[in-house]
Each structure stands twice: as C-alpha cells, then as structure tokens.
Amino acid sequence: MTDKRFHLAWFMNFTPDEWRAPFGQGGYPWDGQFYIEMAQTLERACFDYIMIEDKLMVPETFGGDRKFSLANGMMAPKHDPAPLAVAMGMATRNLGVVATMSTMAYPPFMLARLSSTIDSLTKGRFGWNVVTSAEDLAAQNFGMDVLPPREQRYAMADEYMDVVGQLFDSWDADAVVLDRENGVYADSTKVRSIDFEGEFFKVRGPLNTVPSPQKRPVYVQAGASPRGRDFAAQHADSIVSVANGIDGMKAFRDDIRARAEKIGRNPDDIKVLFCVTPTLGETEEDARAKYERGTTADHFVNDVLASISAITEIDFSQYDLDKPLPEKLVTNGESGTLDKFQQWGSGKTLRELAAAEGGGLVSSMELIGTPAQVADKMGEAMAEVGGDGFLITTPVLRVSRHYLVEIADGLVPELQRRGLVRTEYKHQLLRDNLKEF
C-alpha cells in the first residue's frame, strides 16, 4: 500500500495574538507562555514543526506612517524568534521549532553558533528559515540606505550558506572525546579553521560549539522568484510557499523538484509545504458564515493590505478598494506573495483580492467547511499535487486559542482517521521526521 501521508507545519510570529477576539490570549503574549502552549498543542497533534516568521522593522508603508501598524498591533510589536524557539523547544519533546533569521542581519558566525546552540538545547529539532530580508526599512537598521537588489541578496546568501556549512563541518562528529583518564575534552585534530575568504564574507573559524544532534539545522526556505527557487532547491530541506489553487501548487512543486534534480539533489529530500488558512465550523453553513464574518470585518481588509504593503513596500492605501489594481505591480521585496496576491488579469477588486482563496496573503486554496469536509479537500489536493503537505496559519497570522483547538482537536483527528497525517513521532531529529514520508 502506498503511503499517502503528508506533513503538517504551523506558521506564526511572536506578535500580539488575536487580541480583538473573545478567545485570544488577551494581546500581551510577551512572556511566551501562550506560544509555549501553542507548541504543546501542535505536538499533541503530531505536527512536524512550528515556524516563527520574522521581520526586522516597524512597518510604515501602509498610509505612509507607522501609526496603523502600531495602533492595530499589525506586524509590530514583534519579538525575537530565537529565544522563543528555545522556550518552545524545551517545553516539548518531538515538535520541530523553526526560527526565521536573515542573512542580511546576522554575521554568519553568529548565526551558525546560535543555530548550533539551539539545536543542542532542543535535542536536534531546530530549523532555520533562511530569508534575505525584503524591505528598505529593515536594511536601514543594518547600515544600508536601501535593500540590495534581489540578485545580490541571493549571491550573498549563497556564499553565506557556504560559510555556515563549513562552520558546521569545522568539528568532526566525534571531536568531543570526554577522555577523563587522559584529560582530553575535545580532540584538537578533529576541529579545524575554515579560513573562508569570499566576495562578501571572511571567517576564520572553527565554530566554538560542539556538533549539535543534527549537525546543521533543518533549512527552511520560501524563495519564489526564479533566483529564489534555485536557491531553495539547492539548500532547503523544506520549502514553504503560497500558491494560487491546486494547479498553482502542483506547478510550483514540479518546478522545485525539476530544479533540484538538475543540480543532482534528490527531490524527495525537499518537503514543499503550502500555506493554508482553514475556516472550520460545526456545519458547512456555520463555517461559511464564520468566513464571511471574518473577511468582511472592518479591520480585516486593512490588516491584509497593511501586511502586503509592509512586505512589498508598496502603499496599498493609495488604491480604490472597489476597483481592480490599475497596473501590474513589481517589488524588490516579497515578489511571490505580491504576484499571488494581485492575481493580475483576474479583474478582481482590491477588496475581493484581500479575501481571495480563503482569505489573506497566505492561503493557497480555499478550505471552508466541517473538519471532515476540509480533511477530504486537503487529501484530494495532496493526491493531485503529489505532496508534501501544508503550513497552517491564519490570514494575517493572528491566532486565538479557539482556532488552535479547532485545528488540533477537530481537523487533525479527521486527517489521522483518513491515514493522511502521522499519529505518532517515530524519530528524534526534525530532519528524520521530515524524511519519514
């Protein structure tokens, strides 16, 4: 019998929870407890990993001001994902924890050291979402006036991966000998300098951490442009994507697999997960009513437009909500999400775009219904696409306890009953859980 299982991961950020909703945490999650409980709930549901999104600025594109972002708690405040990944990882046993860190922001040595440390603390369950940053506002926090062009960001990122890879390899797996008799902690013949000197980075090495259980973290990536896809196909263990419908999902995955094959990688080593934002109800009618309520709420359209403005640095407040966009937009920032969002040529108004495909920027297909209906749809989609799973979130990543429980205790058991997702963890390392099927 063929294994039809697919992977589940969860996408969130360290921002206020769904603070306007009655079942939120209350809007002040800064001690991390709400997110620790979230990780424990996802582990109960046997998710592969929880991924923490990150940005390095307070957005001020929407309306040309940071007022909207701060008043609505939209992408700001946003706390550092790395300590939260540690807290979540140490409060769970099997769930993978993935933190976003930008190759523009961290010196490679610091990133390798931090990742290695977290991988040891979580006993081999750490992942790094490799991003190159997408905003001038972020670049301006790191000594630049504008974000480097995409080509250069990826050229730097390629070299960056080389440096950190060499740093992770600068200790042999058996370098720690702990030989009490001869008084040797680590064998110096098994630890090497890397003496890296490239176009962008110069790093002597070796790393000063012991080899972590996975040696290097799981690499997660979301490149969407042709250059970004090549980068992802070369480096990623898991790729996260927002696609337009089942056809778009299939086309994206096929493309990634072809790119991987071309450079000699086994495409099965890359798990492509598609963002979705299911709306669940006791009945289909109930779910549809909930969806309507959610996507027509006053703040919904503005929150979505503020998010897309922040990550593309195009001010969407300048366009008429009830007309199609006047021209095809381009960005040096998150191009894939922009292309998916603007659905150029569809004739949809901006208001309609904000609610398309199940809501928001991060929904690859519409999933509205009872847990059983949505589980069926997810199974059918994966059968058509060929794999490898879903990255579940909400339209602007805000989460209430209610939503979390609907997924973990409503949807996941239905998926499990259909033999579509795992019912127990078989491996200790995140990378092994990803490779299991």
Ligand X SMILES: Cc1cc2nc3c(=O)[nH]c(=O)nc-3n(C[C@H](O)[C@H](O)[C@H](O)COP(=O)(O)O)c2cc1C
Residues that bind ligand X (CB under 6 A): 53-55, 100, 129, 131, 133-134, 150, 222-225, 228, 240-242, 275, 334-337
Q: For residues 213 and 336, which CB has a smaller minimum distance to ligand X in the complex?
A: 336
Strand ranges (E), 212-361: 218-221, 238-241, 271-276, 279-280
Cβ of residue 164: shortest distance to ligand X, in angstroms?
17
Q: For residue 417, give both structure tokens.
A: 């009953």
**13 vs 209 by CB, closer to ligand X:** 13
**For ligand X, which is the closer residue by CB, 166 or 364?**
364
Integer Cα distance of 393 and 9 in angstroms: 9
CB-based closest residue to ligand X: 228
Q: Which two tokens stand for residue 7?
A: 């992977």
Helices (H), 122-189: 136-139, 150-168
Which CB, 224 or 412, lies closer to ligand X? 224
| Nearest approach, Cβ of residue 356 and ligand X (Å) | 16
Based on CB atoms, which residue is closest to ligand X, 14 or 171? 14
**Cα distances (Å, whole numbers) of residue 286 to 280, 357, 392, 411:** 8, 18, 20, 15
| Residue 381, CA distances (Å) to 6, 213, 376 in order | 11, 34, 9
Minimum CB–partner distance for residue 323 and ligand X (Å): 26
Residue among 194 and 239 whose Cβ is closer to ligand X: 239
CB of 55 to ligand X, least distance (A): 6
Report the nearest approach of ligand X to the CB of residue 1 (Å): 32
Measured CA to CA, the distance from residue 356 to residue 362 in angstroms comes to 10
Beta bridge partners of 128: 99, 219
Minimum gap (Å) between residue 26 Cβ and ligand X? 24
348: left (phi over 0), alpha (psi -120 to 50) or beta: beta
